[in-house]
Amino acid sequence: GKAVSLAVEPARPLLWVLRYDLGLTATKYGCGGGLCGACTVIIDRQAVRSCLLNMKAVAGKEVTTLEGLAQNGELRPLQKAFVKHDALQCGYCTPGMLMNAYGLLLKNPSPSRSEIIEQMEGNLCRCGAHTRIIRAIQAAAEARGGAQ
Amino acid sequence: MKRVHSTAMDINEENLQLDFSDASETGPVLPVDRRQFLKLVGGGIVVCFTIPSSLAIQEGERRRGGGQELPQDFNTFLKIGEDGRVTGFTGKIEMGQGAMTSLAQMLADELDVPLESVNMVMGDTDLCPWDRGTFGSMTTRFFGPPFRAAAAEAKAVLIELAAERWGIAKNQLRTKDGTVYDVSGQKKATYAELTKGQKITRHVKGAALETSRDFTIVGNPLPRRDAVEKVTGTAKYAGDMREPGLLHARILRPPAHDSKLVHVDTSAVREIGGAEVVQDGDMIAVLHQYPDMAELALAKIKSQYDRPPATVDDKTIFDHLLKVAPAGETVAEGGNLAEGKKGAHNVVEAAYLNSYVSHAPIEPHTALAKIEGGKATIWASTQTPFGLKDAAASLLGVPAQNVRVITPYVGGGFGGKSNNQQALEAVRLAKLTGKPVQVGWTRAEEFFYDTFRPAAVVKINAGITDSGQISFWDYAVYFAGARGAAHFYDIPHHRTVAYGSGWTGVPGSHPFATGPWRAPANNTNTFARESHIDMLAVKAGMDPVEFRLKNLKDKRMRRVLQAVAEKFGWTPAKGPSSRGYGVACGIDAGTYVAHMAEVEVNKTTGHVQVKRVFCAQEMGLCINPEGATLQMEGSITMGLGYALAEEVRFKGGEILDSNFDTYNIPRFSWLPEIETVILDAKDSPAQGGGEPAIICMGAVIANAVFDATGARLLQLPMTPERILGALARG
């Protein structure tokens, strides 16, 4: 990650600062109320909804967005698994799905199917890629012992 | 089966579901002038597709107010560049359905090039051939054949170039892996070598395709070509576009449809630094560099609206619709109903209801409009870029060629992104401010302005003989539309009538906008028909699969039904068997589907857990079995929503659902085990794949709930409350 210094209103939501002030557009707006998960990012190894988080709360913290998931152009096992298992269609919920799943694997490198379902429950996909997403998370966990 | 009435001339919006062909409507619309176009696409071999004086041209002329001779030679379908790379052009867009992959696959196959050397340019109105829109599962069916014909023509040009260069007869030449070679093995040249320095434009006048060929790439399961971009976040959607000086707009909205603004005070907006108010007629908008600041500024506006009294809500809507229904149109008819009734041993009559349903794509409607030097460029999440181009030109009062619509990735459409309201708002504000403007709807705006799947009623009266033959079938559908209304069973005396047959309703019917929703009308019609068939099977004392087969001559339908039964492990039993098994079948977009489901019903809470859904599908030639499977799984998963939970609550023009806290779409925990089978039919033409597998979801679950509990659900969605109600009624 890269340290950035920004003078912004402390009450502004992280989502919009990422998307407009920093030009990091991978993180998506879906509902604005923490109800769909499209805006999920990782802060302090936790998956959080960036639409509900203001800048004051994230000052000095390390924020990982989907742009930061691949390392030197090399996709993470989780990203590779999403590609391999076609775990997406329109792709709009995908950044949130990946970051939420990444947060899950940080906490629990070998989640069971029911743990995956429980952790992903708040992330919505309208195209119906759910079956593939579960399969991809399982495959990523198996392939590399989670996100490590 | 009797076909739905349709004439080729009658190409209006309501008839989209019928037998029209996209191929005959690759319109004659000139995107930019010829020189400009060739400059944009560069040198090489360019293949255009010209439909000689056809309905499409008449239609195109009619659409533009008629008269003038329209150019016919700018429908460029593909280009082979001087580097040998192939670019396919299509007015279709990619919204997750996988056309970017399947169309590239068709091109690569027809041209004999590796898939990696094909790029697709989609939904750019300056570069792509005119297209009515991406809906109706029509891409493969109707755009596919001329697209493949263009590729065949390009290949013929390459062979001619090689024949000329080597002085060898064309019939001695073959193509493979992006090269032309002669059969003796003496000569070989890559497409890049042959194309270099060439500027050849060819016109195809009709699809002269080999009827059967050995496909090398078509028919192979291929992963999505957009996946890497989408897992790295580099895939761009309309909201990800940026322009220097871009302003983000939030627009003042009424609390209910048909409300009138009576008082407004925008003075407090100035408390938000950088916010600008724009008022133009009925539109009041706040613009700011950041959308969240625009949102804050909008909240500073004090407004008061006059709302008409609510006369209808989500409970009374069905009676209202029956009251205001216009005269019916006969969709299919045969025999004599009175005769059929005489022969009926048992008669079943029922009315089926379904509520309004939202499209709810995760990407809300978004657009960016920029106007420079009299030319507008619009980046929009849209299923109809060419429709938007025309609408924007007419809004701005400029010729259509002064507008360019570019469609980035679309974050889900399902029929809901055809209206382009958000893009026209952006165009209007860009014109008023002289700056690029982005309009990105909030989730609440998305629910408020959605063109919902219409609430609808189906009434069926049908009877069986004492031997279990369906003797008559009297079917009336109100406000859903006619797609999927005609039955396909072997019934001697039948009539199918559609009242208010378009999905947009008639004036005074729906209190807000309605429109096509994935497999429009067919979800409603299949729910009603297949539920009713199940009730007849019970009356006949027969297993529901055996009953269907006994009343079914259609070979394709018998085949999918038998295929799914085998895969599912269906064993005959009279319903309700308490196993919780359901079956349903249907036809959509030329494709046959049959579903089986297993459910578990909690009789205390009314909660339904769907354990398994199996689906067999026969779709003719399947271009990409992997893509088709994704669409089937997606349809099944999405269909759980309208079957079990989704319904828009409203009071008159006020939409009570504004976010995903009260409007429930399918989640991970709802997932059944899903199995899909695509039946081999590669000698028949390719049919639709994006919608068919969703049509049975209401009926297959309702029939399974009946099988589990003996309770018959006649209304969608089957909420726990309605399940408990049906259980109480017995």
Q: Strand ranges (DSSP E) for chain A?
A: 40-43, 46-49, 63-64
Looking at residue B239, the DSSP 8-state letter turns out to be: G
The closest CB to that of B659, out of A31, A67, A95, belongs to A31
CA distance B17 to B483: 6
Closest to A126 (Cβ–Cβ): which among B292, B412, B630? B412
Position B62 pLDDT exceeds 50: no
ipTM of the prediction: 0.97
Evaluate whether B653 touches B510 at the Cβ level (below 8 Å).
no
Q: Is B454 on the interface with A (CB under 8 A)?
A: no
Q: Are B696 and B531 a contacting pair, CB within 8 Å?
A: no
What percent of chain B has pLDDT above 90?
78
CB contact B415 to A (< 8 Å):
no
Q: How far away is chain A from the Cα of B636, in angstroms, using its nearest Cα? A: 8
Distance, CA of B83 to CA of B78 (rounded, Å): 14
More confident residue, B407 or B65: B407
**Chain A residues lying within 8 Å of B661, measured CB to CB:** 33, 35
Interchain pair B636, A128: CB under 8 A: yes
Does the distance separating the beta carbons of B660 and A20 come in below 8 Å?
no
As a whole number, mean pLDDT of residues B169-173 equals 95
pLDDT tens figures, B394-407: 999 999 999 999 99
Tokens of B649: 């609550």
Average pLDDT over residues B262-275: 97
At B206 the pLDDT is 55
Distance CA(B288)–CA(B277), nearest Å, equals 9
Cβ-in-10-Å burial (0-12, 13-18, 19+) of B460 comes to buried
Measured CA distances, B172 to B182, B190, B423 (Å): 6, 16, 53
Angle at B651 between CA B650 and CA B652, to 5 degrees: 110
- Judge whether residue B114 has pLDDT over 90: yes
pLDDT tens string B282-307: 899 999 999 999 999 999 999 999 99
For tokens 């939501």, what's the residue?
A13
Window 636-675 of B, Cβ < 8 Å to A: 636-638, 659-661, 665-669, 671, 674
pLDDT confidence bin for B215, thresholds 50/70/90: confident
Q: Residue B711 and residue B718: Cα distance in Å, rounded? A: 11
- What is residue B463's three-state secondary structure? strand
pLDDT over 70, % of chain B = 89
- Looking at residue B201, what is its pLDDT? 82
Strand order across the B173-176 sheet: B173-176, B179-182, B188-190
Sorting pLDDT into bands at 50, 70 and 90, what band is B147?
confident
Q: What is the per-residue pLDDT for B361?
A: 98
Least confident of B36-40, B383-387, B567-571, B580-584: B36-40
Q: How far apart are CA A30 and CA A96, in angstroms?
A: 10
As a whole number, mean pLDDT of residues B38-43 equals 62
- In sequence order, the β-bridge partners of residue B376 are B371, B403
Whole-Å CA distances, B21 to A33, A112, B86: 43, 48, 26
Tell me the one-letter amino acid at B557.
M
Residue B24: per-residue pLDDT: 31
Q: Is the pLDDT of residue B525 over 80?
A: yes
Torsion over CA of B418, B419, B423 and B427, rounded to 10 degrees? 130
pLDDT band at B138 (very low <50, low <70, confident <90, very high): confident
CA distance A139 to A66: 19
Confidence of residue B604 (pLDDT cuts 50, 70, 90): very high
| Distance of alpha carbon B367 from alpha carbon B388, whole angstroms | 11
Q: Is the pLDDT of residue B665 over 80?
A: yes
CA B553 to chain centre: 29
- pLDDT bucket at B205, cuts 50 / 70 / 90: low
Question: Consecutive sets of 10 residues in chain A, 148 residues long: mean pLDDT of each?
Answer: 85 97 97 98 97 95 95 93 97 98 96 97 98 97 67
